[in-house]
Structure formats: structure tokens, C-alpha cells
Structure 1
């Protein structure tokens, strides 16, 4: 009998989790149907777009992902502190991006002049508290990821029934070794099954998104950023160096099983040389972190919120991670 989800998610132990959702009967409902030859490859983009959208709504960071033909891998970071720090209005605004709120909540957001009695205030506070908890709940995150995709696919196929299996699998990543190993595992999934030959050509994966952004000189907003070993006191950043991580993915892809086809060809030149990436900017960022930022460091959204709360007109470093 499967464990209850509340026994699998323990934020006291770790905020990092690896979640996997599979299509029913492991059918190729997101890729190419081997029986009919019909391609559903475009549905992988549905999943990726929905995942990146949810990363901006929930207080849950996406560390890595890979959208495969019949299943999806995501490595998530639950940012409970961010959820607790959101104002009631911010909680409601985020939840309204997903669902229609109650009439009482709508009146609260519209600043209704009619006084709210004690009973209504208790109900309002309770409702907002529920929304707040859901914003850092992995089960709700996966539900909001999977259900819209299932409805959209069933409508297109003119059918009913399950698209995904009933439950998603989750694994707690209890230390940095487990986190790094799992992220590399997820990013190499398409190469391992011969869907891609190189990380930068591995479609619908976090590693490709990170590499394409790196070539343009920034880190993707929708993914949890890398800030090297300066992330010790920064819960919303990965305690690895981005260049090191990309090279780790590349090296692992070459060494998994050289005798098999699901690897990176050892004759291919190193990834940084292939991409023509200048490491100087990223080395400066990782080695001179304190000079890049002033009183605060983080992504633009966090920096802007901090600037507003501290009533500052300007803040150094807000454009470091565009």
C-alpha cells in the first residue's frame, strides 16, 4: 500500500524533492505513438510551459526538469519562508492566477467599504491561510501541473479518462550529494534514452534552458539560480557553480556507459568550447559576489520586493540575474 503523501514530504528534513508523473499504461501520449505513427510531440511543450508558469505562481522553485514522451521529471525546492512572508494580498493575487476566489475574498481585494464583521474576518483569514499553505504544497503544485494537461489532451482526443497515473512519485533529496546526483540524472534523461545526443540539443529540459540563457549572459528566471558556495544563507539559490554543474552533466553523460549508445560521444569537443562561452562573467560573479550585490542579493522579483519593503529608490545588483 502506498505511503500517504504527508509521510513522504517532510520539510523538516529537506525542502528538495524529485517528482515523477507517468502517463497511464506508460503510453506515448506526449511523444510519437508507435502503433499509429501519429506525433504528439507538441504536448511536451504544453507541460514545459505549464511547469514554468507554476514556478512563478507557487512558492516552489524548479531546480531541474525533463519532459519525456511518457513521463515528466521535476526537481523542486519548497520555499516555505517565502510563502509565510507574502502579504495577504500577494497570496490572493497568486491564487487568482489559478482559480476563482470566494466572494468574500473578492470583496476584500476590491476594498469594499462595507465593514466586515468578526465572523466574516475569521472566514477570510481562514481562507487566505488555506491559499497560503497551498502555495508551498508539492501535491497542489503537481495537481496544477497535471490536471490542465490531462483536460487539454482529452479534449483534443475527444475522450475521457485518466491521462496521468493516479499519483506522482516523490523522492526526498536529503543532502547536496543527492540533490546534485538527481539533477544530473534528470537533465541526462533524454540522452540516456537516445532522444538527444548533447545537453544543448536536449529539448524540453532544464539543462538546455540553462545553456541557452548562459550563452545570452543570464540565468533563466523560471529556474532556481546557481550562485556557487555563496548560497549558504540564501534558501532560494543552488549551492553549486553553474559552469561546474554544466561540466558535471557533460562529464557524466560521457561516462555513464561508453559501450552503449545512450551517452555523449567521447569524440565530441568539451561543451564550453562547443558553445563558445566566455567564463569570465560567471567567474567574476562567483568570485566577487559581495561586490556584485550590496545590501541584498536575489532574483529581480525578490530584489524589487525588498526594495519596496525597505523604501529604497535603487538597489545594487538588481540586474545581475535578468
Structure 2
């Protein structure tokens, strides 16, 4: 049964989501085309920079991302209430930065801000857009598509018409989706270790911890502002690394026994954690979470069942049996 996205993503309530946007026909429009040999890998940097820039303008925090050759993964938290607290000038300035006119300058943007200060209806619309996941993805995808089409001297779609979105209903779901995203290049056998992957959020977390001389910090967004799970930077790096060792049997090294301690805090066993990470896209559909979270979401949608519920029940049995 088809469910409208507005029932999964509540535009008025804060929530965390795993988002996937794919190139048309899954063509390698951000990598080396196996048919023509043309290399478009530089576009990954465009996407990465745009993600970070937009997170500083929208009421959205980016917790993980992976820019692959034919698709992009994101784990983001939207906070619509935050944009409702911004003053009029902040709303206008941010929106005009998201959607600038051709040949815009700081001076012309300031003029646009002053000209729209008294337009309450337009300000309300911009405020709503700045707290919207759909508008965030639109601003990301359209700018990249225009730049790529200009580079290729062509017209037409760059991305598939709709992005896929999964609601992450609890901390375990958020961390498993983040881990799934950060391990994308490793699972694709592009790299041998997570921190070696380019255009992936894990690389930046790893570098930040390596540079830092301060005590271990709580897990924070890569870009934007927002609350984090009850896990530290170092714990998360270990979690991703050891999960990668379990997923890739050819990866050298033993499994550190610190993994179960973190996983058990999330209410899962080691095998259940691995199952949830690997099943992010194959076992779940619109939502990811514990059985109780599934049932609550199904009741909210006035449904008796959601795809992935049976899998969540199996994971609960696996956790309880250990």
C-alpha cells in the first residue's frame, strides 16, 4: 500500500531520516562511466560542499552522508520549530542564500531582504521551506543537476524524480543508518578502511578526532545544529570500524570487545545490530526502529502493519536470546 510522504515526514515535528537520491537509470553521473570512460568524480565534491552549505542555512542537521558514483545517502534531522524562532531578516537572508538570483551580490541580496521585510505571507512560506526536508533535497539536487547539465552541454533529468526516505524512530535506528551510510564505500569494495573513503562523513569525523587533543566529545552533526545520540565521537568511530570488520570478512584485524557494550546500550545483541545495519534498505522500507516504535508509527498511520515489522521482531528475539 502506498503511503504519502507527508505521513512519514511530518513537516511540523522534528525527526531524523535516512534519505537516498539516485541518478537517472542509476547511471554513473558522479563517477567513471564504465561505457564511455568519462570521469565525473569531481561532481562528488560539488555535492558534498552543497550538503554542508545547505545545512548551515536550513533548520536541518546532517549526521552522515556518502556521495557515491550513482547515488547519495544522507542521515538528517529536521527541526521545523527552529526556523519558526528566526527573526524576519534571518529567514530572508538564509532563503536568498539558498536560492540566489543570477549575478546576485551581497548588495543585491540585502536589497531583496529589505524589499520583502513587510511581506508576511512570503516570509511565512520561506520559513516553512527552511524547515522542510523536501525543500532541502530540492535545493541540493537542482543545483547539482544544473551544474552537471551545463558542464555536459545538455538538458534533462540528472536525478530520479523522487528521493527515498526512511523515518528513523529511535537512537538504535539512527546509529545503524549512520553506520550503514558511512560503510557504503567499504561494502562496495572501493576502500579497505572507512576513513580512506572520500566524500563520506566518516572521513571528517575520523580526522576531527585525530586532530583533537581535548577529551572525547558527544556525537555532533557534521553540519548544522541539532541533538545527538548518547554516544561519543570515539565510540562511534569504533562502532563503525568494528561493524565493518564483521560485514567484510576479508578485512584484517579482530573484533574489539567494546562493540557489544555500545550495542547493548541500544538494546540490541551483536548479531541483531549487524542485521539492522545490513538490512537498512533491504529489510526495511519507510521506517526503521524497534518493534514498539513500529507499532506506534503504524497506529499513527492507522495501519496494522508496516514493512520491516517482522524483521524487527526477529531482531528482538535475537537480542533477548543472548
Residue equivalent to 1:97: 97
1:165 aligns with 2:152: no
Among 239, 245, 252, the alignment partner of 1:265 is 252
The structural deviation recorded for 1:81 is 2.9
CA separation of 1:39/1:253 partners in 2, compared to 1, >3 Å: closer, same or farther? same
Among 207, 213, 226, the alignment partner of 2:208 is 213
**In the TM superposition, what whole-angstrom CA distance separates every residue of 1:267-313 from its partner, at most 9, and x where no partner exists?**
7999xxxxxxxxxxxxxxxxxxxxxxxxxxxxxxxxxxxxxxxxxxx
Residue equivalent to 1:43: 43
Secondary structure of 1:164 counterpart: coil
Distance 1:30 1:214 in 2: 29
The structural deviation recorded for 1:13 is 7.3
Residue equivalent to 2:169: 174
Distance 2:126 2:82 in 1: 14
Distance 1:218 1:174 in 2: 34
**In the TM superposition, what whole-angstrom CA distance separates every residue of 1:26-84 from its partner, at most 9, and x where no partner exists?**
11110111112221111111110111110111110000000001000000001223212
Distance 1:171 1:255 in 2: 24
**In the TM superposition, what whole-angstrom CA distance separates every residue of 1:235-259 from its partner, at most 9, and x where no partner exists?**
533332111000000000000141x
CA separation of 1:13/1:80 partners in 2, compared to 1, >3 Å: closer, same or farther? closer
Distance 1:164 1:177 in 2: 30
Distance 2:172 2:230 in 1: 11
Distance 2:149 2:10 in 1: 34
Residue equivalent to 2:193: 198
The structural deviation recorded for 1:172 is 0.2
Residue pairs, 1:110-259, within 5 angstroms: 110=114, 121=118, 124-217=119-212, 227=218, 235-258=226-249
Mean CA deviation greater in 36-45 or 53-62: 36-45
For the 8 Å contact 1:226–1:238, the answer to whether it is kept is no
Distance 2:84 2:19 in 1: 23
Residue equivalent to 1:293: none
Residue equivalent to 1:60: 60
CA separation of 1:168/1:108 partners in 2, compared to 1, >3 Å: closer, same or farther? closer
Distance 1:226 1:62 in 2: 17
The structural deviation recorded for 1:8 is 2.2
Secondary structure of 1:32 counterpart: coil
Can you give the 5+ residue segments of structure 2 that lack an aligned partner in the other structure? 102-108, 258-322
Residue equivalent to 1:34: 34
Query: Which of structures 1 and 2 has the bigger CA Rg?
Result: 1
Distance 1:201 1:194 in 2: 12
Distance 1:143 1:84 in 2: 20
CA separation of 1:130/1:199 partners in 2, compared to 1, >3 Å: closer, same or farther? same
Mean CA deviation greater in 68-77 or 38-47: 38-47
CA separation of 1:266/1:155 partners in 2, compared to 1, >3 Å: closer, same or farther? same
CA separation of 1:131/1:188 partners in 2, compared to 1, >3 Å: closer, same or farther? same
For the 8 Å contact 1:196–1:202, the answer to whether it is kept is yes
Residue equivalent to 2:10: 10
Distance 2:203 2:52 in 1: 14
The structural deviation recorded for 1:98 is 1.9
1:21 aligns with 2:26: no
CA separation of 1:145/1:267 partners in 2, compared to 1, >3 Å: closer, same or farther? same
For the 8 Å contact 2:13–2:81, the answer to whether it is kept is no
For the 8 Å contact 1:66–1:205, the answer to whether it is kept is yes
How many positions carry a matched residue from both structures? 245
CA RMSD of aligned residues (A): 3.0
Distance 2:59 2:171 in 1: 21
Can you give the 5+ residue segments of structure 1 that lack an aligned partner in the other structure? 220-224, 271-322
